[in-house]
Amino acid sequence: DRSRARVVLLQGGDEETLVLWRRLVNMSAAYFNRVYTKLGVLLTDDDLAGESRYQPLMEGVYARLDDAGLLREDDGAMVVDVDGFTNRDGDPLPLIAKSRTGAFMYATSDLACVVDRAERLDADLMLYVIGSPQAQHLQMVFAVCEMAGWLTPPRQAVHVGFGSVLGDDRKMLRSRAGASVKLVDLLDEAVERADAKIRDANPDLDPGVRDHVANIVGIGAIKYADLSHNRTSDYVFSYDKMLAMQGNTAAYMQNSYARVRSIFGKADVDLAALRESGATISLDSPTERALAMAIARFPEALERVAADYRPNHLAAYLFELAGRYSEFYEQCPVIKAESATLQQSRLLLCDLTARVIGKGLTLLGIETVERM
């Protein structure tokens, strides 16, 4: 009851409530920025558009629903009936626009948000990256927008839903104390574990270099683990799997990139000059052709990602490409190729492989290093 009353006070502009709300917003924004910095996210405070941004629009949106004859009273609340939606008992499930206490609901702000994006921004595609449990709510919001004429073809809104991150018990990931886990803590621990792995593998590595690589590997591990899964599926969080050097992981892909890049140092080749030399690529062996075919499928992989908003298509493609390169490297000598012409051809294949892996990881928001 206190919470419902506070919502009414907030929407009514009560000063004490606004002071508390501003304090919470500022604390949240400070935390967001910490996480964004660690993740390399380029959003700033200027990009924030929280629910409060649409507060002044809610009354107008509510009036437009009323004018369109879409509202009706239901036990003191004002709702919109949406065909095809039912509750657990099988009864019709309406969208609540205003509660019995007179407060606008989440649905009202979501409707105002669509109206603002459609009429002010003239957006033709709106992607809602929100957890899958919110699917029904968003479907109802979009349906009401269509009924009101705010979402008409070719303008569309799409729910890009995603599953949950689970613990070893296959329940929602939580701390040992049972509290929700903060993303910033997961990121920090991933970096610490990556640092320990690198220190064990390369004890003589310069500490500054090790810190830099550990940050890239640790952050990359968290990102890749999330993006390499089908976004609608739940997955079990495991540092050991995420940081493994084998399998479809960021560490494996980053190491694959570093391995490909290292060959140019071993061959003592000026890569820029080689690219400009006019040398051509010959595909005489099956593994050369297989690698070239894999490289050529890069645009196809990107098109699949864009078609249904599933980054795991790109991660799977990069993993396959790395595998094709390993087969090529094992079977086709590069530095010790039979001729200078063949060496140049294979070096160019190596170059294309590194460039595609590097670009693919960049598109996933994952950095690469020249040495692991």
Q: List, for residues 33-86, the tens digit of each pLDDT value.
A: 999 999 999 999 999 888 888 989 999 999 999 999 999 999 999 999 999 998
Q: What is the pTM of this model?
A: 0.90
Give the residue-averaged pLDDT of 196-224: 93
pLDDT at position 176 is: 67
Q: Is the pLDDT of residue 222 over 70?
A: yes
Residue 25: which of 54, 58, 51, 55 has the closest Cα? 51
Per-residue model confidence as pLDDT tens digits over 49-61: 888 889 899 999 9
The average confidence (pLDDT) of the chain is 93
Over residues 99-131, the pLDDT tens digits come to: 998 889 999 999 999 999 999 999 999 999 999
Nearest to 62, CA basis, from 11, 123, 1: 11
Q: What is the mean pLDDT of residues 12-27?
A: 94
Interstrand relation of 165-166 and 235-236 (parallel, antiparallel or unpaired): parallel
78 forms bridges with which residues in the sheet? 73, 98
Q: How far apart are CA 190 and CA 206, in angstroms?
A: 20
Mean pLDDT calculated for residue range 272-281? 93
